[in-house]
Amino acid sequence: MIPISIKVSLDLVKSLYAKFIDWDAEMIDYETGIPSHATNTAISEDLGQVEYIMTDKTGTLTENRMIFRRCCISGVFYGNESGDALKDMKLLNAVAGGSPDVVQFLTVMAICNTVVPIKSKTGAISYKAQSQDEDALVNAAAQLHMVYANKNANILEIRFNGSVIKYEVLEILEFTSDRKRMSVVVKDCQTGKIVLLSKGADEAILPYAFVGQQTRTFIEAVEQYAQLGLRTLCLACRELREDEYQEWSLMFKEASSTLVDREWRIAEACQRLEHDFEVLGVTAIEDRLQDGVPETIETLRKAGINFWMLTGDKQNTAIQIALSCNFISPEPKGQLLLIDGKTEDEVCRSLERVLLTMRITSSEPKDVAFVVDGWALEIALKHYRKAFTELAILSRTAICCRVTPSQKAQLVELLKSCDYRTLAIGDGGNDVRMIQQADIGVGISGREGLQAARAADYSIGKFRFLKRLILVHGRYSYNRTAFLSQYSFYKSLVICFIQIFFSFISGVSGTSLFNSVSLMAYNVFYTSVPVLVSVLDKDLSEGTIMQHPQILFYCQAGRLLNPSTFAGWFGRSLFHAIVVFVISIHAYAYEKSEMEELSMVALSGCIWLQAFVVALETNSFTILQHLAIWGNLVAFYVINWIFSAIPASGMYTIMFRLCRQPSYWITMSLIVAAGMGPVLALKYFRYTYRPSKINTLQQAERMGGPILTLGNIEPHPRPMEKEVVSPLQISQPKNRNPVYEPLLSDSPNSSRRSLGSGAPFDFFQSQSRLSSSYSRNCKDN
């Protein structure tokens, strides 16, 4: 009974949905010129039903374009006034004056890395870096006249203020996520001094400062920068004695060549050298949020979509980014609950405590989010899956930091197992597993290559297009598919019911009222064309949807395609079949009850009703819709006139005879009036006296009611659209997002209190305590 035509029409319109995404001029990334692309054409309507969005952070929410913004060198803050240390006259003067602290700091910036400089023919130097952070640091150093000019085997060449300094690299202590720092051991070729240069996370550097150094200003700097959502690195150095280095070098070589537990041994060896630092300063690198991220997240959260941030980054950076992009609300409204612990018991206790808080606050209109790190997550997923699942269902927002790609996929899996429709969005290779695991995968074709975009169902250029992808394309697709599939059932049922009724007056012998040509053409031509143009139907304008994203709830809850709406269409098809059948057999009774004639009367009655049903259910008529609906009606007569002109066909002359009879046309208008009258009356009544939210918005939209001017989201400017923005413009503070700005003035206390109220421990301390034991735990297991 499932009509074949539904499959064909659905496939046709689905590919058109996908094309609309490809064609959408508002979803082109004008910086790179890459349009959005739908790789998977089959799931456009699922986009409209998304309930959970799992997002990566770096490169997805942020631009993944690191820019050196501020620094703190031996207690002096640079770049605080202008927001750009490279333009700070104080720093420029210090560089020009050759202040030893600053020079040392710049040297670390320039050479403590794995960057390879490349000299082009014109003499300009460009850098090839694996990490965006190192690239930012080297470039910043170069702008401050500390140019990392050349690397020749182990000899580095640095030009500073016209003089060339050469260093010999003795050892590179590579970055590991356990140590959270990297170091180089270099030997100054002029003086022969051996120096250890390190850079790393604050918790990996500051505790190892030499006894007596005041690290207070640095801790303050790190905290201040983190509040601004900047990525911080601490730079440090230590002069090594020749014999100390030689001794260590032997040990390091031995560690490097062991076969068992090499990584552990190397880490231990590095630990031996990396202590008693002279902390030089703190750098702050900005990874700017992409344009429109806060608005996008706010709109989508209003649409009832829950956001989870899954990132490999560290906890406080993730929280800062989350705060700055409306992911979580600051203190009075929002609350952050922390799940941590390094043993099963601790995780269990913390999980239970969070769950309890969550249960209590779930009735309050409060934004409660939980934060979990990779280690606790591992334990929670392994041993307390049930409790964690409950937490996942209760919580609208979550931040998971320090998670591995497979954990990302596990989290998606967890939500999928609770029957939520999930969307995963990411940009890098580490997001591929999560993207493939989710119901819908969206890839951002960004700086980290196209891996994610290739694996995903949809690829977009910027995070902010997600809003349009879900609210406009997803929603329209869902609405259109809901109508189309139900209508396809309806039209097939009408014919089926008429055949069933007819069988009762043909001795239940199974005679077909309709001839085979009509039955074939009914599904292929007469009823499929009008409904195919419903791909252009828009119930609400895009602007209205953006202003009232809550309307997406109708799609998420499946309000437009569920058993009760289906029953409505079923009832309508039964009613229409009765109308067509009863009117046809009574109007064409006695001397007119010729088989072929009655069959065409009933069929054309169906076609007329279909045209009016589509017209009634269409919300916006474009020229194509008029053409398809009314043109199809004309085509029906033309096709049947052609068949009626063929002597060999069964219906020879039938249609000409019918069209000459006034009674035929009178019967048709009777069928239309009797069939559509009650439908129209019912629809009107529901529309006016029991309006759904969609109806209300439609009315408001068409009549210019006050709703639209209420506007709960201020129209957001899109400065990036018309021209390609040069990197320089980004640095201008006026380009900052309005939502980004208040956080600057937001005192550090506010967000710390927000953490503290849920989980009463000092965040940063626990973080550093945890991190040191974390690596050890990894080894133990």
**Residue 311 labeled ligand binder:** yes
* Strand 76-78 to 116-119 pairing: unpaired
Subset of 292-351 contacting other proteins (CB under 8 A): 301, 303-306
Q: Is 689 in the site for other proteins (CB under 8 A)?
A: yes
* Strand 458-460 to 334-339 pairing: unpaired
List the catalytic residues: 56
Q: From the CB of residue 74, how many other CB atoms can be counted at a distance below 10 Å? A: 17
- The interface region with other proteins, picked from 166-174, 339-347, 705-713, 758-766 by CB under 8 A, is 705-713
How far is Cα 753 from Cα 336, in angstroms, rounded to an integer? 9
Residue 309's Cβ-count burial label (10 Å; 0-12, 13-18, 19+) is: buried
Identity of the residue, 4 or 557, whose beta carbon is nearer to other proteins in the bound complex: 557
Token pair of 397, please? 């927002």
Subset of 645-684 contacting other proteins (CB under 8 A): 647, 652-653, 661-663, 666-667, 670, 673-674, 677, 680-681, 683-684
The residue from 119, 128, 193, 702 that contacts other proteins (CB under 8 A) is 702
- Contacts with other proteins by CB under 8 A: the residue count is 94
Q: Is 594 in the site for other proteins (CB under 8 A)?
A: yes
Token pair of 493, please? 């049922």
Angle made by CA atoms 131, 39, 625, in degrees to the nearest 5: 135
Subset of 457-476 contacting other proteins (CB under 8 A): 476
Q: Shortest distance, CB of residue 53 to other proteins, whole angstroms? A: 12
Token pair of 556, please? 């998420």
**Residue 175 labeled ligand binder:** yes
Identity of the residue, 107 or 515, whose beta carbon is nearer to other proteins in the bound complex: 515
Q: Is 570 in the site for other proteins (CB under 8 A)?
A: no
- List, in order, residues 6 or more apart from 439 with CB less than 8 Å away: 43, 46, 50, 416, 421, 422, 423
Q: Shortest distance, CB of residue 528 to other proteins, whole angstroms? A: 15
Q: Shortest distance, CB of residue 621 to other proteins, whole angstroms? A: 5
Q: Shortest distance, CB of residue 271 to other proteins, whole angstroms? A: 43
- List, in order, residues 6 or more apart from 570 with CB less than 8 Å away: 489, 490, 493
- The interface region with other proteins, picked from 177-185, 243-251, 331-339, 619-627 by CB under 8 A, is 619-627
Nearest Cα to Cα of residue 293 among 318, 273, 321? 321
Q: Shortest distance, CB of residue 380 to other proteins, whole angstroms? A: 21
Q: Is 215 in the site for other proteins (CB under 8 A)?
A: no
Identity of the residue, 100 or 647, whose beta carbon is nearer to other proteins in the bound complex: 647
Sheet of 440-444: strand order equals 37-38, 458-460, 440-444, 422-426, 52-55, 306-310, 397-401, 367-373, 334-339
Token pair of 713, please? 């989201």
Q: Is 588 in the site for other proteins (CB under 8 A)?
A: yes
Subset of 430-449 contacting other proteins (CB under 8 A): 445
How far is Cα 50 from Cα 668, in angstroms, rounded to an integer? 44
Q: Is 599 in the site for other proteins (CB under 8 A)?
A: yes
Q: Is 499 in the site for other proteins (CB under 8 A)?
A: no
Q: Is 543 in the site for other proteins (CB under 8 A)?
A: no
Q: Shortest distance, CB of residue 28 to other proteins, whole angstroms? A: 6
Subset of 375-404 contacting other proteins (CB under 8 A): 393, 396
Q: Shortest distance, CB of residue 333 to other proteins, whole angstroms? A: 15
Nearest Cα to Cα of residue 600 among 533, 673, 529, 522? 522
Q: Shortest distance, CB of residue 1 to other proteins, whole angstroms? A: 20
Q: Are the beta carbons of 601 and 580 closer than 8 angstroms?
A: no
Beta bridge partners of 433: none
Q: Shortest distance, CB of residue 512 to other proteins, whole angstroms? A: 8
**Residue 408 labeled ligand binder:** yes
Residue type, 753: R
Q: Is 590 in the site for other proteins (CB under 8 A)?
A: yes
Residue 117's SS3 state is strand
The residue from 505, 520, 642, 744 that contacts other proteins (CB under 8 A) is 505
Question: How far, rounded to the nearest angstrom, does the alpha carbon of residue 1 sit from its chain's CA centroid?
Answer: 39
The residue from 343, 406, 562, 688 that contacts other proteins (CB under 8 A) is 688
The residue from 115, 701, 737, 771 that contacts other proteins (CB under 8 A) is 701
Nearest Cα to Cα of residue 114 among 8, 31, 197? 197
Q: Is 96 in the site for other proteins (CB under 8 A)?
A: no
Q: Are the beta carbons of 87 and 115 closer than 8 angstroms?
A: no
The residue from 592, 718, 753, 776 that contacts other proteins (CB under 8 A) is 592
Q: Is 417 in the site for other proteins (CB under 8 A)?
A: no
How far is Cα 173 from Cα 267, in angstroms, rounded to an integer? 9
Q: Is 416 in the site for other proteins (CB under 8 A)?
A: no
Q: Is 95 in the site for other proteins (CB under 8 A)?
A: no
Q: What is the DSSP string of 243-281?
A: HHHHHHHHHHHHHHH-SSSHHHHHHHHHHHHS-SBEEEE
Identity of the residue, 363 or 564, whose beta carbon is nearer to other proteins in the bound complex: 363
Subset of 56-85 contacting other proteins (CB under 8 A): none
Subset of 11-40 contacting other proteins (CB under 8 A): 16, 19-20, 22-26, 28, 32-35, 37
The residue from 177, 343, 620, 749 that contacts other proteins (CB under 8 A) is 620
How far is Cα 184 from Cα 204, in angstroms, rounded to an integer? 15
**Residue 231 labeled ligand binder:** yes
Identity of the residue, 5 or 696, whose beta carbon is nearer to other proteins in the bound complex: 696
Binding marks (x or -) toward other proteins, 707..736, rule CB under 8 A? x--x--------------------------
**Residue 56 labeled ligand binder:** yes
3-state secondary structure 121-159: CCCCEEEECCCHHHHHHHHHHHHCCEEEEEEECCEEEEE
Q: Is 47 in the site for other proteins (CB under 8 A)?
A: no
- The interface region with other proteins, picked from 126-134, 352-360, 503-511, 565-573 by CB under 8 A, is 503-511
How far is Cα 698 from Cα 639, in angstroms, rounded to an integer? 37
Reported as half-sphere exposure (CB side, CA atoms, 13 A), residue 51 has a value of 16
- What are the binding residues? 56-58, 134, 175, 199, 231, 311-313, 402, 408, 427, 430-431
- What are the binding residues for ATP? 56-58, 134, 175, 199, 231, 311-313, 402, 408, 430-431
